[in-house]
């Protein structure tokens, strides 16, 4: 037997396949994955009807994390109300990502109504577009299908703003997750970019992902070594002593202004005129 469901080949070594064969194998794997997601959604939906919350069962029997269990349960609930989408997923006509995009909107009344009314048209778009393009299509559909021209969508985005931060006890790393509406997100992105530029030079270059844009702080250009200040002593370190009016030497190789955390300018000292003390004649 050289073929599994969905056209997946199991009788040929992967190393012996040419480029066309590998591409065909990837397509077959995508179809098989769609079939598995569709079957799993049916099972989860039936479990939910019998036992209610199935998150604990999915974590134990399905070997899923809490996040995966919540996502699978939400997808199953949405596909249960979109039979045409689930059938297309079973046949491998659409991918799991496209089906999840449609199913995730079924728990919001206004969005669910728009998806149900335009399910056939959305399925045609899902078959013709990849996952990223279809995600953008669904976001635009949310706005176009809004009865008030997208105002409710903007309000929903503002209400969905959230941020959380936690510390990994194993590594000590601080993790930050945030979700903002476009206006608030643009303001915070500007602040993050400014903070990244003011970072101490002894920290490596970091990249902060903020939605579709990436804020990246570039490392300093090559040049003479600079004095490094530990992060925990930046606030307590005194700036170097300089004479009043002394200018900071500019290194043309850097093309950068001096780091404010390294060299802080002091205001010029005030000179008090010397006055002789008058003495009374004896």
DSSP string, 159-174: HT-EEEEEE-TTT--E
Q: Kindly report which listed range (51-55, 194-198, 262-266) carries the lowest average pLDDT score.
A: 262-266
pLDDT at 257: 46
pLDDT at 189: 87
Distance of alpha carbon 138 from alpha carbon 150, whole angstroms: 13
pLDDT at 278: 65
In angstroms, the Cα distances linking 219 to 197, 209, 256, 263 are 10, 17, 11, 18
- For residue 218, the surrounding DSSP H or E stretch is none
Residues 6+ apart with CB under 8 A from 111: 105, 142, 145
pLDDT at 201: 53
Mean pLDDT of 65-76: 92
Chain center to CA of 223: 34
In angstroms, the Cα distances linking 233 to 160, 196, 202, 210, 254 are 38, 19, 12, 29, 25
Q: What is the mean pLDDT of the chain?
A: 75
pLDDT at 149: 61
Give the tokens for residue 191: 């602040």
pLDDT at 99: 94
Answering whether pTM is above 0.95, one says no
User: 229-268, pLDDT tens digit by residue?
Assistant: 343 443 444 444 444 444 444 444 444 444 444 444 455 5
Three-state SS across 248-282? CCCCCCCCCCCCCCCCCCCCCCCCCCCCCCCCCCC
Residue ranges per structural domain of the chain = 3-159, 162-198
């Amino acid at each position: 037997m050289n073929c599994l469901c969905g056209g997946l080949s199991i009788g040929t070594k992967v190393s012996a396949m040419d480029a066309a064969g590998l591409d065909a194998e990837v397509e077959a794997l995508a179809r098989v994955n769609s079939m598995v997601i569709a079957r799993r959604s049916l099972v989860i939906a039936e479990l939910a009807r019998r036992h209610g919350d199935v998150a604990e069962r999915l974590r134990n029997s399905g070997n899923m994390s809490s996040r995966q269990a919540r996502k699978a349960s939400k997808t199953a609930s949405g596909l249960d109300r979109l039979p045409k989408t689930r059938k297309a997923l079973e046949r491998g006509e659409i991918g799991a990502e496209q089906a999840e995009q449609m199913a995730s909107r079924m728990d919001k009344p206004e969005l669910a109504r728009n998806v149900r009314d335009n399910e056939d048209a959305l399925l045609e778009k899902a078959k013709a577009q990849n996952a990223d393009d279809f995600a953008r299509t669904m976001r635009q559909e949310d706005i176009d299908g809004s009865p008030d021209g997208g105002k409710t969508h903007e309000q929903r985005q503002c209400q969905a703003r959230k941020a959380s931060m936690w510390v990994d006890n194993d590594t000590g790393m601080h993790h930050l997750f945030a979700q903002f509406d476009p206006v608030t997100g643009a303001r915070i992105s500007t602040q993050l970019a400014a903070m990244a530029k003011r970072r101490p030079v002894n920290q490596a270059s970091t990249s902060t992902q903020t939605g579709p844009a990436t804020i990246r702080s570039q490392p300093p250009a090559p040049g003479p070594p600079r004095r490094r200040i530990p992060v925990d002593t930046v606030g307590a370190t005194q700036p170097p002593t300089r004479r009043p009016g002394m200018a900071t030497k500019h290194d043309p190789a850097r093309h950068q202004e001096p780091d404010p955390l390294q060299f802080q300018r002091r205001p010029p000292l005030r000179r008090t005129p010397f006055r002789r003390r008058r003495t009374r004649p004896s």
